[in-house]
């Protein structure tokens, strides 16, 4: 679904690639070890609000543009700052961060009181080409 949204207007549409990725230098936000650092960055964030929060899904707070749901501008800014800060810190210690992994809630709850959402996923971002172990292979 997300690939379909992102590919609108692009020639050829979405594609699926098969590749081996080295996760030995992964900033794994699914582990929770870095969340206090992320929360601290979020509390220091001072840009104007440009995104709808999760309550908008439940309260339907007069949202006329449902397309705006899921456009997480502030979250993106905060996470970019966190990753760059942690990357610099790791490099100063002789290490590196080449990938970032995290869980994301998307879609709608599976039932009225559910914390399981229909399109939730684990996302992996590759920051450095050296994280690719094998060549790209287009599957679809």
Q: What is the pLDDT of residues 67-81, one digit of tens each?
A: 555 566 777 888 888
Going by their DSSP bridges, the two strands 26-28 and 99-104 should be labelled as parallel
pLDDT at 8: 56
37 belongs to a structural domain: yes
CA distance 90 to 97: 7
Instruction: Report the SS3 class of residue 10.
Output: coil
Domain total in the chain: 1
Q: Which two tokens stand for residue 21?
A: 């990725």
Q: Which two tokens stand for residue 13?
A: 């549409």
Q: Residue 100's domain spans which residues? A: 26-46+60-126
pLDDT at 53: 62
138 belongs to a structural domain: no
75 belongs to a structural domain: yes
Instruction: Report the SS3 class of residue 17.
Output: strand
pLDDT at 37: 86
Going by their DSSP bridges, the two strands 121-126 and 99-104 should be labelled as antiparallel
51 belongs to a structural domain: no
Q: Where are the alpha helices (DSSP H) in the chain?
A: 2-7, 35-44, 55-59, 73-92
CA distance 85 to 96: 11
41 belongs to a structural domain: yes
Q: Which two tokens stand for residue 113?
A: 């009181």
72 belongs to a structural domain: yes
For residue 26, with 0-12 CB atoms within 10 Å meaning exposed, 13-18 middle and 19 or more buried, which class applies? buried
3 belongs to a structural domain: no
Q: Does pTM top 0.85 for this prediction?
A: no
Q: Which two tokens stand for residue 32?
A: 């929770």
31 belongs to a structural domain: yes
Q: Give the chain's residues under pLDDT 50.
A: 1-2, 4
């Amino acid at each position: 679904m997300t690939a379909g949204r992102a590919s609108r207007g692009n020639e050829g549409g979405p594609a699926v690639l098969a590749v081996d990725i080295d996760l030995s230098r992964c900033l794994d936000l699914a582990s929770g070890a870095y969340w206090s650092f992320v929360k601290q960055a979020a509390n220091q964030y001072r840009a104007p609000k440009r995104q709808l929060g999760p309550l908008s899904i439940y309260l339907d707070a007069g949202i006329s543009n449902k397309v705006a749901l899921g456009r997480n501008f502030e979250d993106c800014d905060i996470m970019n700052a966190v990753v760059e800060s942690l990357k610099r810190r790791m490099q100063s210690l002789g290490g590196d961060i080449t990938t970032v992994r995290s869980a994301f809630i998307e879609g709608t709850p599976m039932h009225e009181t559910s914390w399981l959402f229909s399109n939730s996923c684990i996302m992996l971002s590759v920051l450095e080409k050296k994280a690719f172990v094998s060549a790209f292979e287009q599957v679809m």
